[in-house]
Structure 1
Amino acid sequence: MPAKKHKPEEIIGNRREVEIVLGQGGTAAEACRRIAVSEQTYYRWRKEYGGLKTDQARRMKELEKENLRLRRAISDLTLDKLILQEAAKGNF
């Protein structure tokens, strides 16, 4: 079964819920069970989303997707350029 993709809004909400449980004296393991994620996932979210608000997290994810798309485009163009350079060497 593939892992569930959480949306930034869900992640921020889950992080807040964990912070509430921790503030009430609960453990991280207990809080993570309550939101149905592993402790490792919670700590990764905490590192990645730090003190972001929902709209900031959403914007960050959009920028990451755009960055990935642009990197792929650059790598494709670089590969095309290298192929053309190799082909041009053989003709001269």
Structure 2
Amino acid sequence: MKNPVVISEAQIVKAIKEYEGGRDLKDICRELNIHKSTFYNWRKKYSGMDAQELKRLKELEEENRKLKQMYAELALDNKMLKDVLSKKF
């Protein structure tokens, strides 16, 4: 399996704008080494954004993922503590 290529926010925005400007999708996908379904997912999710907005969205999504993980860990810790406290000594 190939290592995934990291594509910047600026490249995603540029690709979407080029496509909307009439550039052939096959050329864009070949240049970025992506499947057309990946491009369509980007277009659906990021159309109308500039590179800064896209970067901020990705930062917020990453922060959200970390917070969800922290919540899950704390909920598990809380449950374990309640279980320990509910047992009679």
Per-residue CA shift, 1:49-92, capped at 9, x if unaligned? 02111111011001011111111111111000000011111126
- Please give the alpha-carbon distance, in whole angstroms, between the structure 1 residues aligned to 2:31 and 2:22: 9
Name 1:60's counterpart in structure 2.
Answer: 57
- Please, which runs of 5 or more residues in structure 1 have no aligned partner? none
What's the TM-score, normalizing by structure 2?
A: 0.83
Higher helix fraction: Structure 1 or Structure 2?
A: 1
Aligned to 1:2: 3
Contact 2:16 2:47 in 1 (8 A): no
Inter-CA distance 91–7: structure 2 relative to 1 (3 Å threshold): farther
Aligned-pair Cα RMSD in Å: 1.8
Tell me which amino acid in the other structure corresponds to 2:83. E
Aligned equivalent of 2:17? 16
Distance 1:30 1:6, change over 3 A: closer
The Cα shift of 1:34 comes to: 4.3
In the alignment, the residues of structure 2 paired with residue 89 and residue 3 of structure 1 have an alpha-carbon distance, to the nearest angstrom, of 48
Q: Is the aligned partner of 1:36 residue 2:37?
A: no
Structure 2 stretches lacking a partner, 5+ long? none
Question: Displacement, 1:9?
Answer: 1.4
